[in-house]
Structure 1
Amino acid sequence: MPPEVVTELQDLTQYQDIHGAAATNALVARDFYTIEDPHERTETPDSRPTFGLDDGETDGIVFANARDVDGFLTDEFGGTNFPLIHAVLQGPRIVPTPRLISEYARNGHLTDEEARTLLSVISPHRSWDTSPYVTQVRERLEE
């Protein structure tokens, strides 16, 4: 994980809401990921490219491209950032958060009911209630 993402998570922990709780949980899980500055790798630019995204997303994309990862997890799927992320990723598949949740259910890490509940809990906090994308994910979980 790029240091800029860790900084953004640390900033989010100040909030007493679902975002602060999620950021705290991600930081507590520190033993399960490594922190690496993508700009210190020989195959990446020395400075942050200008993609029109925030620094954390930009560094995440640089990191994902450099590490040749399979997927790039993002909650950007309803606005203009999704096609931009798609354009600058050089290989990884974009994995929107609702899709990750449904894949956890499909692979037995969550039940369909747990996945639907998780989507219901997150949706109002991420403006997903009217998202056609999330509606499709929910419908697949109900099949």
Structure 2
Amino acid sequence: MKEALVKARYGNEAGTAEDGRAFINRAETHYVIAVSGFPGRMAQMGQRNPERFKQGSFLKRKNNENISPEDFRIRGGEQEAEVVLSFPRTHEITLADKDVEFQMKMGQTNIRRRFKLKDMIYNDELEL
């Protein structure tokens, strides 16, 4: 993913761009999940009471404690919004977890999405 972003930004100079190499080699401190397509009114609710929505969101791993988000942001306007959640990497997700489920509750809306970790391997590494 990082390599694709660098190629999109720097084009033919992606291999030599110092900023690009630094971005690729940077150790990430959070797992980030973005959920788009929310109605604008939900964005307004989230901006008024972000802690409520943050508390209803987590990453669930089998036989491990849930990972709660450290940060919750809402982007968008009156028509449509996107929610971006950042979960700390201090709770490591490994292939031994097999899968991770994202759960989020915003008002009457419940979102669940399971991610199979074996499908997230790139160059023999789990890339999250």
Q: Which has the higher helix share?
A: 1
Whether these two folds match at TM > 0.5 is no
Calculate the TM-score normalised by the size of structure 1. 0.23
**Rg comparison, structure with higher value:** 2
Structure number with the higher strand fraction is 2
Higher relative contact order (CA closer than 8 Å, sequence separation 6+): 2
TM-score, normalised by the number of residues in structure 2 = 0.24
